Chains A and B, each alone.
Chain A
C-alpha cells in the first residue's frame, strides 16, 4: 500500500510542474506589457519602468523568471491582487469556505438522491420508475445549469417568494466568522433565525450545482448495479435462497459501489466548473465568482494563482479518490 501511495505521489510531480508552467506562461502570452498593466492607466516614466521591471524580475531571461516564480510558490507566495493589493492566497482562503460549503451540500444532495435512484432503477429495470428516472437523469445531464438557476429563481424567488435571490445570508444578521461555513457560524452565533436564513440562501444554489453530478451518479449507479447483478456470485447467492434484500444490499451493492465512489470523487472538477456559473447567478461570494470577477477586471495575478490553486486542489482530490479506490478495491493495488 505504501508503495502504491508513493508511486501515485511521484506521478503527480510532472503534472504539477506542467500546471505551474501553464499558469506561468499564461501571463507571458498576454498581449501587452505586464509592467504597464500594473502601473494602470496613468503610465510610467522610462526610469520607473526599468525600476519596476527589475523589481518584478522581468529583466531576467524567461527560464530564470520561471524558476523565481516556482521558488516563490514553494514559499507560499502567490503574488498580490492588482485591485485589492492583498495577497492572493489570503483572498483565496477567505473565499474558499463559501465554495466548499456550496460544493459539499451539492455533492451530498447528489449522492443521497442519485445512489438510491440508480439502485432502484437497476432492480426494477424496464419499469416506469426506471424509464422516468433515467429520462430525468438524461435531461439533468443535458441541462444548461446557468439557465436552470434562473428558472428556479423565477419560480421560487419571483413567483412563490420562498427563497432569497442572492448572497449567503440576510444582511440583518452579523456575527463573527469562526469557521467560514455560514451554516456552522450562524448556529454558533445563537442568533434567532440566522441559521434558517443561511439555509434558505443555500438551498437553490446547491440544487443547481447538484443537478449534473446527480444525473451522472444516478446513471453510473444504475449501470454498475446492472453489471454486478449479472455476476455469478449474485446468481449463486440467489440460488441458495438468500432473501433478495440481502443479495442486493450485501452482494450486489457493495461491489457496485466501487466505480460509483470513483464517479462521486471525480465530480469535483465538474463542481468547480459548475461553481463558476452557479456563484455568478446567485452572487455567491466564493472562488468561482472571484475568478470570473478577476478575469473581467483583468486582475491577472489573481487569475494566474487562482487557476493554479484550483488545478492543484482538483489534482489532490483526484489523488485521494485514486487512493480510496485502491483501498476499497484491492485488485487495483497489485496492478
Chain B
C-alpha cells in the first residue's frame, strides 16, 4: 500500500506511526468480513492445539491399548471414559491422534508455503526484473510445470523421491512454486514502470537492492493472499498423498494417513473415518475463510465497492 496520502498531511508521521495506521486500516477492513474473523479464531485455536498437543492429549498418539480396539466415542453405547472420541483398529486414542495431527498439518503448510514462496519470489523477481530471454526461459519452464495436474505431478515426484513426509512436502512445494513465480513476475513488471523505481536507480541503487528493497515490498499483497490459499491447498494435498500412502507413513498421526488406515472400517466404525476428515475440512475451511478476508482487506480495488 502506498503512503503518499500521508505526505499531504501537515504533520509528518514517523515510520512506526505509519505502520500502525496501516495495520489499523488493514484490521478495519479484515474485521468487516465476519467469516474471516471466524476463520482466524479457528486458525488460532488450531495453532494453540498444535503447540500444546503434548499437554492436551490424554494419551500417547502411537500407544496401542490392546484391550480397547475400535472403542466407540464416549457418548455412544460401549464407549469408555478414557477414550473421549474412541479408539482405532489397533487401540490408539483418536482424540490424541487428532490433536497431534494438527502439528503435522500446520508444519506441512508452513514448510510447503515457505519453500514455494521463497522459490517463487526469487524466480519471479529474476524473470520480471531482467526480462528478455531470462524471462522467456523461466516462464516456459513454469508453463511446463503448470501443464501437469498438480496432485499427479506431486504423486510422481514422490514416487521418484520415495514415499515419506519430507519428500511429499518438497513435491507439493515444487508444484505450487510456479503460481508464486507468475504472480511475482506480473507485479514486478507493473512496478518496474513506476517512477520511484527509476528514482532509486538514478540514486545509484544496485540491482539486488532494487529487486529486494525497492520493488519486492510493493508486490507483497497478492503474494500474501496466494500464500494463504496455498497453505490450505497444501494441507489438502498432503492429506491426499497420505491417504494414497505416499505422504506421512504410519504410525504418524497425520490426518490423511489416519483416513487411509481407517478405510476398511468405514461400514463398521464411523468414528475412525469421520473424525480425521472433519479435522481436515475444518482446518482448510478456516484458512480459506481467512484468505477471503485477507484478499478483501489487501486488494484496494475491492475496498471501496
Contact = CB atoms under 8 A, between A and B. Distances in A.
Interface stretch (A71-79, A185-193, A195-203, A303-311): A303-311
B259 A147 contact: yes
Given A15-B144, A296-B245, A150 B277 contact: yes
B141 interface: yes
Interface in B128-166: 140-141, 143-144, 147-153, 155-156, 159-160, 162
B240 interface: yes
Interface stretch (A50-58, A135-143, A252-260): A135-143
A274 B29 CA distance: 35
A18 interface: yes
B98 interface: no
Interface stretch (A36-44, A151-159, A174-182): A151-159
Nearest to A31: B162
B159 A295 contact: yes
A98 interface: no
B271 to A, nearest CB: 11
B147 A146 contact: no
B266 A158 contact: yes
Nearest to A23: B156
B259 A273 contact: no
Contact of B147 (A142, A147, A276, A315): A315
Contacts of A139: 281, 285
Contacts of B151: 273, 276-277
Contacts of A22: 144, 148
A269 B149 contact: yes
Contacts of B292: 138
Interface residues of A, number: 44
Interface in A9-39: 14-15, 18-19, 21-22, 26, 29-31
A291 B149 CA distance: 13
Contacts of A14: 140, 143
B288 interface: yes
A244 to B, nearest CB: 22
Contacts of A150: 259, 263, 266, 273, 277
11 contacts: A15-B144, A22-B144, A29-B160, A138-B288, A144-B239, A146-B239, A150-B273, A158-B267, A272-B149, A277-B244, A303-B156
Interface of B: 35, 140-141, 143-144, 147-153, 155-156, 159-160, 162, 232, 236, 239-240, 243-246, 256, 259, 263, 266-267, 270, 273-274, 276-277, 280-281, 284-285, 288-289, 292
